[in-house]
Structures are given as structure tokens and as C-alpha cells.
Amino acid sequence: MLPEEFTDAILSDEDGMALALAWAAKGMYTTSPNPRVGCVIVRDGQVLAGGFTQPAGLAHAEVHALGAAQAAGIDVRGATAYVTLEPCSHFGRTPPCADALIAAGVGRVVAAIADPNPLVAGQGLAKLQAAGIATRCDVLADAAREMNIGFFSRMERGQPWVRMKSAASLDGQTALADGRSQWITDALARADGHAWRARACAILTGIGTVLEDDPQLTVRAVETPRQPQRIVIDSRLQIAPQAKVLAGGGTLVVAARSDPTREAALRAVGCEILILANEHGKVDLPALLLELGRRGINELHVEAGAKLNGSLIREGCVDELLLYLAPSLLGQARGMFELTPPDQLSDATQLEFHRVEQIGRDMRILARFRRADRSD
């Protein structure tokens, strides 16, 4: 019996791509630094096979789907392959997917969107066309870009897509004046927040949050095959080796000054230390984003206090806000962002609502900063 996702007839390119996007979502937590890509192979409206990109170094979506067809004894010659990103045309950790599609004899390839990687950038489709395979691009392109918004950011800007999360009351307060914040939002919203943590490549916080709350910054409320890397901004290396965020090793601590004694103690518990200072003796946040881009970080999830949140926003380092608002009022307590008020309303930092949904009793808002250099 065919899997459930294979039973619906594919009546249009949009149908085929929608199914390919569903396959791409299967790799939501596992493909980085590669993009999340899905592929389905269709003939006469019937889905023959599907696949999605495996962890780095293993099969890409097209090869995964072709392998599934081969294992089932299915001949894909002349069939249409729907792929959520242009097939790659270069040798990386794996051979070019365009070559695999050509060798399999597919008759047509439909890509959702061109690959922003300069090593591909239209060359995959060109290679298919040169081999006599019909191609089409830009089918459900917006959805495909959203699926890989961090990968596009890294390829186009050299830095990850930065998503800043905060939970607050309706009047914008994240905690009582004494710091108590458990729990402003309900369990459903907290689990949803962990799902957003899980899809990120890395989670960033500041030393203030570590000293006050001693968070783990791990994904716990939802199942995940891997934990994102943890990053702590700590200009003066104040963090204690016993901090929960350092447990298990692998945490990146970013400082503005060197302290050999403290660095040795942190390295002893598995930390990496990065010294990255700006002219004011603080951590150079824009430079950090470029460094994370070089390290293959596609999506960066920020959960920090008002001071670091404000610094990141002020320096143009945040792409979108992920806000959970509870139907409650706390009065004058602790806010989400430490920002200097504008002199005029017209000078206010502008955002656009991208998505607004109710999660249980709470509201989830995705709002994106308006920037002239952004096409999304």
C-alpha cells in the first residue's frame, strides 16, 4: 500500500510542489547547514516516490527520492520531478543532483525557486536543459523561500536570519519588577516556542539572562533529533563554568576582552571562546553575525533580556520578532526591549505583521523589520 501522501492525484504543478514542500518539512531540524529540500517524482498524476534532504554529507532530496524509486523497482524515465529548490550542479560533500536526475532519465523538472548559492544560481537548471530535460521554475516560490529563509539570508547577506523571541503580557511586560516570569504564557505557547528553538541552528542569549535565570536553553517541550548550538554574549567573561547553559559542552561564549584564567576554566568544561570587540569595548554584534554565517548558521534564535534585545535591534541585527502575548496586564514591570524613545512618532522603528495566530489562550505574532535591503 502506498503511503498516505502518495494517494492523492497530482493535477497541477502547484499540487506537486505543495507535496514536495511537505516532504521538505520532514528535514526541518536536520539538514543544516544545507537547505531543507523536498522532492517528489510524478507520472500521469501519480506520485512514484518522494524524498527530502538528509543530514549534511548524506543524500540530497532528489537522490533520496530517486533511491526510494529504485528500491521499489519503479522506473522514473520520462517522469516529472518536483523539487523545492533548484537542483545543485556542483560537487560538494555529495555529487550534483542535476547529474542524478539526468542519469535517471526524468523528462521534466519543476523547481520552486532558484538556488541562491553562487555555486548554483541557475546552473542546475541550465545543466538539465542542456541535457534535453524540460524545466520550469518559480512555482510556490514564496513558500519555498520561507522554508529556507535562513539559508537564503546566509547566501545573500553572509549572515543568518535572526529571530528574536519574547513572551509578555498585553502591556508588553516580560516579568514582574522582581524578575519573576514563570509563567506569563500557557504551556501550549511555551511548547510552540520550543518548536521555534528546535528549527534554529543556534540559540543566543546574554550574560544578564544567564546570571539572573541560569537557563538551559535546550529544546525540551517538543521532540527534536538535535539540539541547537548555544551562544552566550558575555563581554567580560563573567559566566561561571557551572552555568546550566554550558552543560554538555559545545557552547560558544563571545567576549570583548581576553582573560586567560577564565577562558581556561571555560574551555575545561567544553566551551569555545570567541573574542570579538567593537570600538566601545562591547561585543561587535554585526561582526558576530558574519562569523556565524561563515560557520554555516542559517537561523539564529534569540532569547535574551531587554538590554541585549535593545542592542541587537539598535544595531540592525534582528530580522523578525517572535512574540507571545498573554491576555493579562502586569503594569509597570519589565519590558521586552531597552530602546531610546524616538523624538517623533514618525521616527519609530517600523515593522510589518507577517503572521498572527492564537496559540491556546495566547497570541503569537511574527513581525518583520522594514529594511530597504530586504526582498522578503
Q: Give the residue numbers marked as catalytic.
A: 62
Nearest to 193 by CA among 49, 294, 303, 97: 303
Residue with cell 516570569: 181
What letters, b where the CB count within 10 A reaches 16 and e where it falls short, cover 294-308?
A: eeebbbbbbbbbbeb
Task: Extract the C-alpha cell encoding 361.
Answer: 489562550
Query: Distance between CA 159 and CA 156 in Å, rounded?
Result: 8
Beta bridge partners of 166: 323
Say which DSSP state 91 is in.
Answer: -
For the record, the C-alpha cell of 96 comes out as 550534483
- String of DSSP letters for 349-361: PPEEEEEEEEETT
Q: Which DSSP letter does residue 83 get?
A: E
Whole-Å CA distances, 87 to 57, 113, 151, 163: 16, 10, 15, 28
Q: In whole angstroms, what is the distance from residue 49 CA to residue 234 CA? A: 49
- Cell numbers placing 142: 514564496
**How far is the C-alpha of 76 from the C-alpha of 43, rounded, in Å?**
8
